[in-house]
Chains A and B, each alone.
Chain A
């Protein structure tokens, strides 16, 4: 295999990682539509889902072009099985209560904001352009989630207890952010993607002051579940994809 083809395989896999995480998390957020705790928050959750579906479309569209086998964003979203998905495990966890949803948003945006900021300097101009838009959106999501986590953590005894529980439940999926897959290693060496290890400090600098202000006990993020980047997922993803893909698979090419 020549060098260019090898990089293209990695680029395809990496665009899938970015796109799949955004797509799966977007689906989880969309489950709140009509069920948000307040009307404003219902709208906010749907808006964030929309930002993420936009990022997913851009990434999957690019993945399809890099792959060059004629698969478009819809083919990649609707016609791949769970073990072909490359999303971070945190994205596929059930939406839980509002505390779980907000803690997950905090972790995801706290990681993706510096990830996209770094990607803006990528030697791959398409990834750099996608990142320039997405970075602003992630900074906005981070502020939204941060304000809620502070309010909930430093709120009532009930909201504090539930937010601490959410923090401990979601913390086991954070270590995966900083595991370095073979694809990420090669792309980092080629100046195309950030080294995930280098994103740990900006992540912790973003979220630790928020968790402290929220009077929450900051988890260690030392160990936990991983495998999503290599296609190893839990049952939750299978069920999520079942719901997301059923219409397209039953009626291929269906449009609104």
Chain B
């Protein structure tokens, strides 16, 4: 069926508006990051009947924030007038910290969390891990306290200059 041009334009405007709403929803565990910054929104589509279909991907297999993210997306879209929304979880391709946006990295650092220090593809099993710079004083001499931090996606580090402990986003 050929649809009138103005309907197509209206649909595009609608989709752009939905996309803006979706992209602005914040991660429940690191609220300084939007879902767009984090790179977990994979696709946003609108069907001919107006239904919005979103595909999200978890950062970790057991990320407990996924259900909160789904609830937050439904709430934000409902507030903006989109009531008919389905959200599915896709696993492929697997999320990597390389997908975090440059804006997201800057926001993380300003928030006191060191962004991922290197490309996840440059995997180091022992020793030659790139230490993250201290998000407080920017010193490069830092040491790892623990491989795991306050959430699944972070490790715990300490600055050897200002001595402050800090969370660092894992490279995965």
Contact = CB atoms under 8 A, between A and B. Distances in A.
Given A43-B148, A44-B147, A58-B61, A140 B170 contact: yes
Contacts of B91: 58, 126, 129-130, 132-133
Interface residues of A, number: 31
Contacts of A41: 146
A142 B95 CA distance: 20
Nearest to A50: B62
Interface stretch (B3-11, B37-45, B108-116, B149-157): B149-157
Contacts of A134: 61
B30 to A, nearest CB: 15
Interface string A10-31: 0000000000000000000000
B172 A136 contact: yes
A43 B155 CA distance: 10
The residue in B61, B91, B94, B149 that gathers the most chain A C-beta atoms within 10 A of its C-beta is B61
Interface of B is mostly: loop
Contacts of B126: 143, 146-147
A7 B172 CA distance: 33
Interface of A is mostly: helix
Interface of B: 58, 60-64, 90-96, 120, 123, 125-126, 145-150, 152, 156, 170, 172
Q: Which 8 A-B pairs have the closest CB atoms?
A: A54-B62, A54-B61, A40-B146, A129-B92, A129-B91, A44-B148, A132-B94, A47-B148
Given A41-B146, A57-B61, A139-B123, 6 more contacts: A40-B156, A58-B91, A132-B91, A132-B92, A137-B172, A143-B147
